[in-house]
Structure 1
Amino acid sequence: MRRLFTEESEALLFKTLNYIPIPILLSEGLEVEGRRPSTHRVHHFMNHAFIEQLGYNINDIPDIAAWFDTVYPDPIIRNKAMLEWDNVVYASEKQGLSTAGFKTYIRCGNGEFRWFLITAQLTTENQSNLNIVTMRDVHQLQLLIEENERQSNTDLLTGLANRRRVEEVLAIAMKQSNLAHSSLCLVMCDIDFFKDINDNFGHLCGDDVLKIVAVQLQESAKSAASIARWGGEEFLIVLDNTEPESAALLCEHLREQIEQTDYRSYGQLMHFTMSFGCVKYQPDESLHSLLSRVDKALYKAKNNGRNNVVMA
């Protein structure tokens, strides 16, 4: 191993770094033809926090190639991570920044996968090819962020997408339909006489019915871009790349399936039906217009006696 400092200063540096509770790695870029030193590196030191928190020592990952092979066992994910890191480093160097960093999901020595924020100091005084790399465990924070995002996009009772999320999905599907000139259909459905279910069997049974319907919609419309609880007892289904004829068949299948099923909740045997409205998206139509038209289609289905499908 090439000595980066004098023996005395190196010993002092390593001793100092071992007191720091954040994982630290010292690596050196090598001059390799056709590759930048920032992407071809050997590792010289890991502090105690690195070994304890990540579960690897210098023999496990002596260089950056071994690092990628070890912490990203899946070759597809590994190649993606290598490309992302290379781009991050290149962008930082091009902007004249002294550090580069990104958040990544890696396998630790104990086999557990955790999120880490990796930051590399790209240049140090008198040691242009030396990187000081710090790794902060942000796993719990990342899980909290993901859970908050999930809850902000999910109806907590049914587990379906909520109104906010389905509007986002629908807006994207509309843009894609315009660009690809593909057919997009929107379905709004409603549990008939849902108030009677609540009044006769109680709100717990009513909630159970909503969850049962949500499962049936998910199982029968797996190809849908999104299935959401629109509000109350109403559901919205986004069918991208779907012709009206296929959308109508799906709606009729769902209507029959629900009509022919007996449901049991909290000891109560229930039977109910649903009404469906379906429309095809018109090129360059606004989100408000599309939602208004499908709402009117559902309203017409209910006015027609409920338990039927209206294509508009």
Structure 2
Amino acid sequence: MPGAVCRFHSFLLTLGQSLTAALLATLAVERALRLVSPSHHALVFAFTTGGKFTGGKKTVAFLIAGELVFCGVVSSIHLYGTLPVDWVSEQRSCGARFTESLQMLDLTFCFDYAIPYWIVALPAFVVAFVKFYLARRKSSPGGEIILERNSYAPGDAYSSRIAKLQQKFRSNKPALQAKSRRLGTLGKRVYTTKGYTELEDWDSDIETESNNLDSGDGRQRIHLLPRPEYAALVASAITVLATSLCWFPWIVARFIWSRTPRDPPPSWFGTMAVLLMHAAALVKLVAILICNPYFRSAAWKTACCRRKVSGSSQAFSEA
């Protein structure tokens, strides 16, 4: 194959790898923000009903476009000749000669693997699970896991805030604290159409008249952790971990081949690295199907072209 075709082929491979890592890292940050600050997450990622291109749709489109441009610029090193790319007749494939540009190998490793997985995704998931652990320990007497409790919501009038504050001091706090405390149960209550759990016993410092858990504009005063959101967090964490582990042997093999070409790794190690690298393409789908029952229900409904899933609970159907 000619050199131009090899460079374009190598560019597409690098673009796919770096874009996958960037999107998984972005998903990790989005899931962490959902647990750490649900109110800000609702304001940034809230999807409005209808065909209007507003709110979360603009945010997601901007993130995908920005990552596509950034990864395209990083991957374009294979097009402008900074890294030699040739047709390897023994392997019948195009390959980059990293032995002639070890700095380019280090740069590709940083942008395609180390930064997205180790520096961005891993700390984001650690923060998310720490927040879940702390929120579960501080769960309410009713058993709901409260992620955030706001004294007022964006858009409230000053008079309504004063009324809430006065009602708070007039409430019977000792009677509320006397209830037996237990850990949250991740979705013990009834799910609404948007996945939020409904409270049975309202706290005294919250107005039940204006409290709306279904509002999609980030104006909830109590943000609870629904079971579908936790399932999505676990599925995302396992996906990122499994993907990074599948790619790691190939990264190690490439460094050995480039820095010590006269002492290559054993053939079985190279074969295993290549197989795991290709298996990473299926890890994402398998991890989501295994860890997220709500995704399985939605996938089955879509495959069967059914509007409702028979025999499923209301929580599964609404998710």
- Normalised by the length of structure 2, the TM-score is 0.26
Higher strand share: 1
- Of structures 1 and 2, the one with the larger relative CO (CA 8 A, separation 6+) is 2
Larger radius of gyration: 1
